[in-house]
Structure 1
Amino acid sequence: MLEREGLQVTSLEDEATHALDSRDAAGTEEIALHGEHTLEIRRSAEQDLLEVTGPTGVAGLCISIDAEGISLQVTGTKVTLATRGALAIRADELALHGNRGVTITSDADASFRAAGDIHTEGRIQTIRARLGNVNVEANDDVKLEGERIKLNA
Structure 2
Amino acid sequence: MGLFFLIVGSVVGVSVMVFFNARLGISTQAKLSGLDEAIMRLDTDRVGFEAGEGVLAADGEGALVAERSGACLGLVVARGSDFVIRYLGPGRVRDVAIDNEHVLHLRLNDFVFAPARLRFDSAEVAADWAERLTALQAVAVEVAPLQAGARS
Q: Taking structure 2 as the reference length, what is the TM-score of the superposition?
A: 0.28
Higher relative contact order (CA 8 A, sep 6+): 2
Answer 1 or 2: which has greater helix percent: 2
